[in-house]
Amino acid sequence: MTDRPRYRLLGPLEVRRGGSVVPVAGPQQRALLAVLLAHRGHPVPDDTLADALWPDGPPPSARHSLRSHVSRLRGLVGDDVRSVDGGYLLDVPADATDAGTFETALRASLDEEPPDAAATLEAALTLWHGPAFGRAADLPSVQPEARRLDTLRLDAHQRLAETLVAARRAQDAVAVADALTAADPYREPAWTVAVAARTAAGRPAEALATYTCAAATLDELGLLPGATLRDAQARALAADATPDPAHPAPSTPEPAPPSAGRRPPVPRTSYLPPAGALDAVRELLAGGRLVTLVGPGGVGKTRLALEVARTLPPDRTRFVELGAVREPDAVPGAVVAAAGLSPAAGPPAQALAALAARDLVLVLDNCEHVVDAVAEVVETLLERPGPLRLLATSREPLRTPGEHVHRVPPLGRADAGALFVERARAAGAGAAVGDPAVGRVVDLLDGLPLALEMAGARAAALSTSDLADELAHRLGDLAHAGRGVDARHASLTALVDWSRDLLDPAQRRALDGWPVFASAVPPGDAATVLAVPRDAVESLAARSLLVRDDAAGRTRLRMLRTVRAVVGEPADDDPVRARHASTVAELLTTSDARLRGPGEAAARSRLDGLLAEARAAHAWARRSDLPSAVRITRALHDHAVDGLHDEVLGWAAQLVADAHGSAHPAAHASLASRLVLGGRHVEGAGHARRALATADDPVDRMHALEALADAALFEGELDDAAAIGDTLAALATQTGAPHLVGVGHSYQVLRLAYTGRTAAAREALGRCRDAVEAAASATSPPGPTTAGWLAFLAGEVEADADPDVALAALRSARDLAAAGGNRYLGGVARSAATALLARHGDPAAVRDDVAEVLTWWREAGDRTHLVTTLRNLLVLLARAGDDATAATLWGTVVAADGVPVAYGTERDRLEDVRTTLADRLGTERFAALVVRGASRTPEQAADDVAGGPSGPKGA
């Protein structure tokens, strides 16, 4: 079967088909695969697999979830995974894995002559791309096999060095032996072959220096060199005593020349860091001895470091690749070797002291997985004054004295688009910078250069639009199609796993649970939801798994889309879902309680900031925790009405639909308000009555009464509205809700004002104010919204009696609404002001004000107030002499079916306008224009005036 999967475990785990990487999504999927590979051909019990998937203890649904994980893994590897009694089995031959191929080559080399054996071993060692099983090697059920394979790898290097000496390739043997002693400095046979190789290469003086280094290293463990190592020293001494004209021995060992060591590699792509980044880092490096480039995986830290190094003289830079260094103890040796110091410099600690005096810029790349060991090396290097400077790259700071951290940000939208297009064209695709689909790709990939390069290569097989669609649904599957890519950079999954595997259990819980959040959240709120200490949350930000997205000077953390796609959303039965919904409901309730007091603006800002979380929590709670969904609905009711958040009120509609019409009273009350605001007064009143029929909570009853009173008011049933308002005022007084006390009394005030009884309306307004003050004295001073509604009432009362006083009151209401962030009050105050100006102001000057208010209500979806504003415009048009337009608008907002009825003084004004228009236009033409107007909706009429839903186009 040519398409059978092959498994790579000599480094980070990979599954390949046909030469391409098949992404294994999520840490639990990869843990499952790692355990099955570690026990290839042998059954693995369910309990062992569960311990690997849930190291902190399996959930109650572990067996069901394990079956789901196995099913998804089978979707990648087919029938290679089989069910057995009480567990699962990965049934593949040894040659289906790179480890099997490696071991076969080792056995074959034993029977070959040295030249052939060396070639076989060299080929076998190219199969390795890092420690066996990658970071999955830490799983208890994987550790024994990972250690066995890592030991085999060291043995293979040992055998290769010995074979190279026998094959008369002594110089190559020296390089292999040195790499082996750097990786395992206490491996005595490696020192033996390092001494022997130098002797065979005609460098006995260096061989003796190597022996000295070996003896000092072994002495750290209290050991003396063994017989084999001493024999190698004796041969070196014998060779050193016989001068070889071709290889004269120096009188004293000397360090390697400045040209030795590893130079920074030359980048193979044209990507350059953002403008200004090079100068910023060079400036930091000029002023300090240690600069650490920090950022998420794939953001371009290494490339920025390489570009900085390229601006320096070549003989003054060295490059230390730490990505393949697994053991912290090997870090000093790796630094010494990459810096080009010879064994004559002594053991690593002594060599580091010598290195500190070199005039070099040492690039320490990929430090995060051995960050503590790197920090110790850095402190050793910098504890003495000298010219040495260090440029490190890491997903988290080293946190050593004198460190200057430069955070490498993702690319901006323009630079990201240009990089994607360039990589897509390089792959043979025809992408263009101006293509909207390119913008979609860039937005999905967070501006990460590595992800953009992966997507660019993928564009060779898909159109940019199809690629954007695929990324939107399968972002976590994005992988690198190129050859020779570092395993930890081979896919988005590998990028995240590299960091995830470095976390402690609390940090992993925080990472795995984070996708429950829909937006940037404060660290304290996050820690509560995730049930981890706050420092576990902050450590994710320090390690670049989260990014700062501060608002109003307050710290907020969010997860990049690319990381979220790999981590995956928590399951519905994950406890973090319930904690998220409960915490969000509690935060909303706390802010809602402060919404009508002096701290209204801050409370409203807090509620706005929680809407994204509320959306996610409400969606989950509707499926799994109905009481939390009800709490969220109730807590957001006032804010949604005040802010004209139709979507939020729509969540109540979903609750009602899910319950087939018999939902909790809180849901019916919020749906009633939504319908009334949308102009569906009768239907809204029906839901308000359903809420009142079963509501026990006084808050739900007051919400329903307010919606019912509004429906009656907008339908012109002023007496009914006033009676309902009295009931609302009494309940609000009883429960201590000053704002709703005022709302309840307001219907009586408006009933009198709208029927022309100004004196009685003034008296009712006085009683309303007194009632609000009495209620507030027992609680707290009223906030801007309460004061704003009282100002609005004053404006409506004085509208015809004293237009100037009325206009001042309405403008005060508008300003108070703005101070409290109340869009609904701001809208009705503006509408009332335009109505006043339409009757008494300059028609030409008022037209733009009317257009602004129309746009306000159009965007809010509030048909009731949209129609009211259009009626004000109708009066204005008639006053300006635009009779034909006025008559057409009459048909739309007065004569048409389905629009709210006019009542009181408004009805009288509209009747006067109708009479005037019919006289001027003639009865027949007026009637024809009315018919024409009745064929369009109020929304279409508003768009004609205000320039469409996006905003006004002017008079």
Residue 346 is predicted with a pLDDT of 58
pLDDT value of residue 344:
54
Residue 195: CB atoms within 10 Å = 31
Tell me, what's the pLDDT at 639? 96
Question: Is pLDDT at 836 greater than 90 in this prediction?
Answer: no
Sheet holding 403-407, edge to edge: 317-321, 361-365, 389-394, 290-294, 403-407
Q: Give the DSSP H or E segment for 88.
A: strand 87-90
Under the banding of pLDDT at 50, 70 and 90, the label for residue 85 is confident
| Tokens of residue 880, six digits | 């300006």
Mean pLDDT of 459-467: 84
- 292 or 1: whose pLDDT is higher? 292
Residue 675 near residue 683 (C-beta atoms within 8 A): yes
pLDDT, position 484 = 53
What's the pLDDT score for residue 955?
24
Q: Which residue has the tokens 């009883």?
A: 734
**Beta strand pairing call for 361-365 and 87-90:** unpaired
Segment 71-84 mean pLDDT = 86
**503-534 burial string, b = 16+ CB within 10 Å, else e?**
beebbbbbbbbbbbbbebbbbebbbbbbebee
Which candidate, 233, 178, 231, 229, places its Cα nearest to that of 204? 233
- Integer Cα distance of 784 and 822 in angstroms: 9
Residue 493's nearest CA partner among 506, 482, 479, 504 is 479
At residue 483, the pLDDT reads 55
Fill in the DSSP letter of residue 13: -
Tell me the two tokens of residue 633: 């609905």
Place of tokens 């104010």: 769
| Percentage of residues in the chain having pLDDT higher than 90 | 38
CATH topology of domain 503-571: Arc Repressor Mutant, subunit A (1.10.10)
The yes-or-no verdict on residue 197 having pLDDT over 50 is: yes
Q: What pLDDT score does 253 carry?
A: 38
| 947 pLDDT tier (thresholds 50, 70, 90) | low
Q: What is the mean pLDDT of residues 900-917?
A: 82
Which tokens in the block code for residue 485?
Answer: 């890519």
Q: Which of 59-63, 373-377, 596-600, 887-891 has the lowest mean pLDDT?
A: 59-63
Is the Cα dihedral 800, 801, 804, 805 positive or negative? negative
CA distance 151 to 168: 26
Extract the tokens encoding 346: 């002594």
Please report how many Cα atoms fall inside a 13 Å half-sphere around the Cα of residue 800, on the Cβ side: 13
State the amino acid at position 892 in one-letter form.
Answer: T
Q: Which segments of 137-273 are extended strands (E)?
A: none
- Comparing 458-462, 487-491, 755-759, which segment has the lowest mean pLDDT? 487-491
Beta-bridge partners for 363? 319, 391
Report pLDDT digits (tens) over 490-542.
Answer: 677 877 877 887 888 899 999 999 999 998 999 999 999 999 999 999 999 88
CA dihedral defined by 511, 404, 550, 582, rounded to 10 degrees? Answer: 30
| Residue showing tokens 């209500």 | 857
In this prediction the pTM is 0.71
Checking DSSP bridges between strand 20-22 and strand 403-407, what pairing results, if any?
A: unpaired
Whether the pLDDT of residue 281 is over 90: the answer is: yes
Q: Which residues are bridge partners to 389 per DSSP?
A: 361
State the DSSP H helix or E strand holding residue 294, giving kind and residue range, or none if neither: strand 290-294
* DSSP SS3 for 884: helix
Task: Quote the CA–CA distance of 340 and 329 in Å, as a whole number.
Answer: 19
The pLDDT confidence band at residue 107, using thresholds 50, 70 and 90, is very high
Cβ atoms 187, 180 nearer than 8 A: yes
Mean pLDDT of 355-366: 88
**What is the Cα 730 distance to its own chain's centre?**
48
pLDDT tier at 250, thresholds 50, 70, 90: very low
pLDDT in tens, 301-313: 998 999 899 888 8
Tell me the sheet residues that pair with 139: none
Neighbours of 902 (CB within 10 A): 18
What are the residue boundaries of the structural domains of the chain, listed by start? 277-407, 413-494, 503-571, 850-946
pLDDT in tens, 650-692: 999 999 999 987 899 999 999 999 999 888 899 999 999 999 9
Pick among 3.90.1300.10, 3.40.50.300, 1.10.3720.10, 3.20.20.100: CATH of 277-407? 3.40.50.300
pLDDT tens, residue by residue, 708-735: 999 999 888 999 999 999 999 999 999 9
pLDDT tens for each residue of 537-556: 999 988 888 988 876 678 89
Neighbours of 252 (CB within 10 A): 8
Report the C-alpha gap between 62 and 70 in whole angstroms.
Answer: 12
Average pLDDT along the chain: 85
For residue 371, what is the enclosing H or E element? helix 371-382
Give the residue-averaged pLDDT of 431-440: 84
Beta carbons within 8 Å of 227's beta carbon, 6+ residues apart:
none
Tell me how far apart the alpha carbons of residues 397 and 667 are, in angstroms, rounded to a whole number: 49
Of 67-81, 243-257, 261-275, the one with minimum mean pLDDT is 243-257
Q: Average pLDDT, stretch 251-264?
A: 50
The CA distance from 812 to 789, in Å, is 10
Model pLDDT for residues 112-125, shown as the tens digit of each residue: 998 999 999 988 98
Residues with Cβ within 8 Å of 788's Cβ and at least 6 positions away in sequence, in order, are 812, 813, 814, 816, 817, 820, 822, 825, 829
The residues, any chain, with a CB within 8 Å of residue 323's CB and separated by 6 or more, are 130, 365, 366, 369, 486, 488
- Tell how strand 44-45 and strand 14-17 pair up: unpaired
| Cβ-Cβ contacts under 8 Å for 590 (sequence gap 6 or more) | none
Q: Give the mean pLDDT of 389-412.
A: 92
Task: Tell me how far apart the alpha carbons of residues 789 and 827 are, in angstroms, rounded to a whole number.
Answer: 12
Cβ atoms of residues 464 and 425 within 8 Å: no
pLDDT bucket at 482, cuts 50 / 70 / 90: low
Q: Confidence band (pLDDT; 50, 70, 90) for 135?
A: confident
Inter-CA distances, 926 with 702, 901, 918, 923, 939, Å: 45, 20, 6, 5, 22
DSSP strand pairing (14-17 vs 403-407): unpaired
* Beta-sheet pairing, 389-394 with 361-365: parallel
- Give the Cβ contact number of residue 850 at 10 Å: 27
User: Side by side, which strands form the sheet with 81-84?
Assistant: 44-45, 87-90, 81-84
Nearest to 624 by CA among 674, 670, 570: 570
Q: How many Cα atoms occupy the beta-carbon half-sphere of 628 within 13 Å? A: 23
- The two domains 277-407 and 503-571 share their CATH topology (first three levels equal): no
CA distance 828 to 826: 6
Give residue 343's pLDDT.
53
* Cα gap 405→280, rounded to integer Å: 11
Which amino acid type is present at position 416?
A
